[in-house]
A and B are shown apart, each in its own frame.
Chain A
Amino acid sequence: MNTQPTVLSNFSLPLQWTLRLLLQWPLQWLLRLSWLVLMALLFLPPAQAESIAPGSATVSALAEGGMARSQALNDWIEQPPADPADAAALHALNHDRLFVHTTAPARLGVEHADGQLRDPASGAVLGTSTDTGWEKIRLNNAIRIKLRPRIDLLDLRAPDAAVRHAAAEDLFSARLTPAYVQEIKALIPTLAEPETQAKLGQLVAGFELNDPNPQVRLAAVAGVADVLDPEIRARLAPLAENDPDPTVKAAAKAALDSIQRRVDVWQFSQNLVFGLSLGSVLLLSAIGLAITFGVMGVINMAHGEMMMIGAYTTWVLQQLLPNHLSAALFLAIPAAFVVAGLVGIAIERGLIRFLYGRPLETLLATFGLSLMLQQAARLIFSPLNRAVALPEFMQGSWALNPVFAITFNRMYILIFSLLVFFALLLLLKRSTFGLRIRAVAQNRQMARACGVRSGWVDALTFGLGSGIAGVAGVALALITNVGPNLGQNYIVDSFMVVVLGGVGNLWGTLVAGMGIGVLNKFLEPYAGAVLAKVVVLVLVILVIQKRPRGLFPQKGRAAEE
């Protein structure tokens, strides 16, 4: 009789819990209750669920249908499969491919892909699924939930490592009875991978933490001492608080403390990585500014709109190539660079070159330009935000353990920002063009005397800075919505990064960007996201008071200007 309550797996998600509470428990209990009544009325002995040979008690009950079938299924699933035929029939049951012959002789048939029904044991063809007398065994939710760990256990013996791994994972959220837990425990030594062994060991230990025997509990505590899973921690906590056995209590406390220490370390790394990720976004948005503002000394308030142009370029390319998201993304990088760069050159030739030497006027004029560009985006692409779809390889996240996980898109952006940074550094320090840029920035007259066309260098430098802003826009499009205000949200931050890092110093920009990002993330748990940002801004303002030329000011002749 299946009347003992199933042990709910504590590894399930809250949502599943709620659903179970609402739907499945009442249904299940109703079913069980009606069963009890039925059995009591009929004085039937409990069905022997062992053989699925044609004509056996189980198969007859299955053929009977109704309550008898449900009971037979319950009992059948509960027993470990006796032979390969049994396992094959269970798999078929799980995939809704198990049929039963309702008229004598009662027997089971497994539906194959060709519609043929075959005997689970011998493989002999018995007919087709549409033949009269054959009926598909349909499962209700209660049975399905019971079947799940049984199938997982079968899968744990599968030859394919991936299937075994998935089954082990699945067991964590399946509903396990003590019998299943014992079965899993017995199975562990037979498994090939130590990884899966360790995983299932934790699973079993998690259950044994509630065992009435203190020795079992003590062993279980030792088994989970290096597990970071919050569920295990939640189970350890009551033991450490008030376990009747002092040894178990002390052991649980020690285990909990050591877990907490490790969780702290991982949490710290998580914050660090999140901070670096935020910093990489800041860095990307500030690198272009480090060129236009840092090297050329031009205040370009329309810098954010160059990012916006890059982001819209990405979106437009995705619209053009809806079936090739990755290709569109990789095309977007050069495309955004070219589009934003050309717009930048146009701005430099058409506006900024008339305002050299008048930084405040440049600031105002480019601000006006940024307003116009934003409004243009609003008119062309509508004021609504557009979402850029993530290509396959950027979806998902890399979870090292339950405390530490990083999404792939963030990781790629971190790498990408560093790539852009070093590419730019190389360009400035090693190429002829970079040499010209630096020459014009340091001493325009002398550079001209040496034959550098300073006007063109200005235009191209500005184009370079704007193009990099466009590339930053591609990255931003992947983590935020593309809209007319995209650039505006980053402009204050990017200026802060450049000013803090020291104008004209790319390394300073790197350190300042990452520093602000990390600081922000570490403040967030204490102050909340908004206040953390305010605190960082105030801190930056204070640092600028102390070091008006940034953390890493230029030294030597370049600083004289």
Chain B
Amino acid sequence: MLLKKLFNGSDAAGFWVLAAIGLMLVWVSVANLALPADHPLHVSTYTVTLLGKFLCYALLAVSIDLIWGYAGILSLGHGAFFALGGYAMGMYLMRQIGDRGQYGNPNLPDFMVFLNWHELPWYWQGFEHFWFAALMIVLVPGLLAGLFGWLAFRSRVSGVYLSIITQALTFALMLAFFRNEMGFGGNNGLTDFKDILGFSISDDRTRIALFVASGLALIGGYLLARAVVRSRFGRVLVALRDAEPRTRACGYPVARYKLLVFVLSAMLAGVAGALYVPQVGIINPGEFSPLSSIEAVAWVATGGRGTLFGPIIGAFAVNYSKTELTTLAPELWLFFLGGLFILVTVFLPQGLVSLFRRKAKTPPASVTKADVTEANTTKAKPTEAKS
């Protein structure tokens, strides 16, 4: 009965998910800070960090859903924007270390001293200011997405082609960031952070603040994405997702719509990455690996794309399973993840949320016409991808 109420309203489900997140933010903060460590309801800092990580992942999932669920752009390289946001934050945190590094150089991060560099590269200038780093956190992913999207959408690269070249993009970035000469710490990445905005990064209160910030960012990102998809702009996105040639024929500049939503999504991913880095305390090129990006796509697919709140559920569900499974039986995790991909795509194309949705009276708005028609035919379409 509660479920019915949940999923019947226009965005009642989204509201409840947000409410649950809000509740979790308050409860975890209180339980971690106010309750003594031996209290049965005390939430450990480890759990706080873990949940904070999940919140960042959820924001990344929402950003992917915004383009995949509503504009039909499957990016297999969204981890790249997440990582770029993370690196921007990491650079700020590195500059905050000051002369407390191993080599005690007030100007240069340890790895640069190690590489015998004598001055800060130009692209590190300005990162000692938080406002500058914050700007870069959205600008760098946004610019890359803008450039990449402009090139791709202008020449109508879509469907699986786009997916593959986004994967190539993140793969190329990973290789590049692994190089020491890039000036981003190479293999080890950026780590050993000391404080953020003057607060010690290992302090419980800072951790709670970061956790709450991640939660608020997720709520903000969700509301922003919802505003976008409910606007006229969003309706055009759904139209081009379902019938791109027709939308184009109606006179809409399809490439521009896609580009805008792609850039917005990349910025959201950048913010998610930026909040992720101070909580886990490290950012390295591994975040660029195609596998991380594809895992993020798995959260969205599992939760249910095209619903915005589904990916949040998916991110939490999959990552919680990952945490549990990798401690219980680490060798089974990849089987689980792989199996999840197969089960969800074959049996639950609309994700976990569709389990509840079927009970709803109204037909779900996000099942695309293309999906329905394509699912009924066995005809392979080698060059066109619309899902």
Contacts and interface: CB of A to CB of B under 8 A. Distances in A.
Is A bound to B?
Answer: yes
Interface stretch (A8-16, A102-110, A473-481, A531-539): A531-539
A360 interface: yes
Interface string B102-120: 0000000000000000000
Interface stretch (B84-92, B131-139, B369-377): B369-377
Interface in B249-305: 290, 294, 297-298, 301
A365 B334 contact: no
B169 interface: yes
Interface string B138-181: 00000000001001101111011101110111011001101100
B181 to A, nearest CB: 8
Given A375-B331, A545-B152, A369 B379 contact: no
Contacts of B164: 492, 495-496, 499
Contact of A367 (B294, B384, B385): B294
Contacts of B298: 364, 368
A357 B290 contact: no
Interface stretch (A213-221, A232-240, A294-302): A294-302
Contact of B338 (A355, A362, A370): A370
B231 interface: no
Nearest to A376: B335
B342 A369 contact: yes
Interface string A279-308: 000000000000000111111000000000
Contact of A356 (B165, B176, B179, B380): B380
B383 A360 contact: no
A359 B169 contact: no
A531 B176 contact: yes
Interface in B68-89: 74, 76
Nearest to A495: B164
Nearest to B332: A375
A294 B380 CA distance: 12
B38 to A, nearest CB: 40
Contact of B337 (A361, A371, A549): A371
Nearest to B346: A354
A347 B349 CA distance: 19
B165 A541 contact: yes
Contacts of A47: none
Interface residues of A, number: 57
B338 A368 contact: yes
B46 to A, nearest CB: 27
B341 A365 contact: yes
A517 interface: no
A379 B329 CA distance: 12
Contacts of B5: none
A298 B160 CA distance: 10
A561 interface: yes
Interface string A168-201: 0000000000000000000000000000000000
A359 B381 contact: yes
A542 B297 CA distance: 25
A358 B377 CA distance: 10
A357 B375 contact: yes
A234 B202 CA distance: 60
A356 B160 contact: no
A359 B387 contact: yes
B125 interface: no
A548 B155 contact: yes
B176 A545 contact: no
Interface residues of B, number: 55
B382 A358 contact: no
A540 interface: yes
A1 interface: no
A360 B382 contact: no
A261 interface: no
Q: Report which residue of A364, A499, A534, A540 has the largest number of chain B beta carbons within 10 angstroms of its beta carbon.
A: A364
A297 B176 contact: no
B223 interface: no
A374 B383 CA distance: 29
A486 interface: no
B345 interface: yes
B339 A548 contact: no
B314 to A, nearest CB: 13
A371 B344 CA distance: 15
A533 B172 CA distance: 8
A444 B380 CA distance: 8
A460 to B, nearest CB: 15
Contacts of B301: 364
Contact of A548 (B76, B157, B371): B157
Contacts of B340: 368
B327 interface: no
B176 A561 contact: no
A449 to B, nearest CB: 14
B292 to A, nearest CB: 13
B378 interface: yes
A369 B380 CA distance: 20
Nearest to B331: A379
A548 B168 CA distance: 15
A453 interface: no
Contacts of B346: 351, 354-355, 361, 365
B342 A365 contact: yes
Nearest to B179: A530
Contact of A358 (B154, B171, B387): B387
Contact of A359 (B156, B290, B349, B385): B385
A98 to B, nearest CB: 59
Given A368-B339, A371-B341, A492-B167, A360 B172 contact: no
Contacts of B159: 359-360
A363 B164 CA distance: 10
Contact of B156 (A365, A371, A548): A548
A149 interface: no
Contact of A357 (B152, B154, B179, B379): B379
Interface of A: 294-299, 351, 353-365, 367-372, 374-376, 378-379, 441, 444-445, 492, 495-496, 499, 503-504, 528, 530-531, 533-534, 537-538, 540-542, 544-546, 548-549, 559, 561
26 contacts: A296-B382, A297-B382, A357-B377, A359-B160, A359-B385, A365-B342, A367-B338, A368-B338, A368-B339, A371-B334, A371-B338, A372-B338, A378-B331, A441-B382, A444-B378, A445-B379, A495-B164, A530-B179, A531-B176, A533-B172, A534-B176, A537-B171, A541-B151, A544-B161, A545-B155, A561-B382
Closest 7 CB pairs of A and B: A368-B341, A297-B382, A372-B338, A371-B338, A375-B334, A368-B338, A537-B172
Given A357-B378, A546-B155, 11 more contacts: A356-B380, A358-B375, A360-B159, A367-B294, A369-B342, A371-B341, A374-B334, A492-B167, A504-B382, A531-B179, A559-B383
Interface of B: 74, 76, 148, 151-152, 154-157, 159-161, 163-165, 167-169, 171-172, 175-176, 178-179, 290, 294, 297-298, 301, 331, 334-335, 337-342, 344-346, 349, 371, 374-375, 377-385, 387
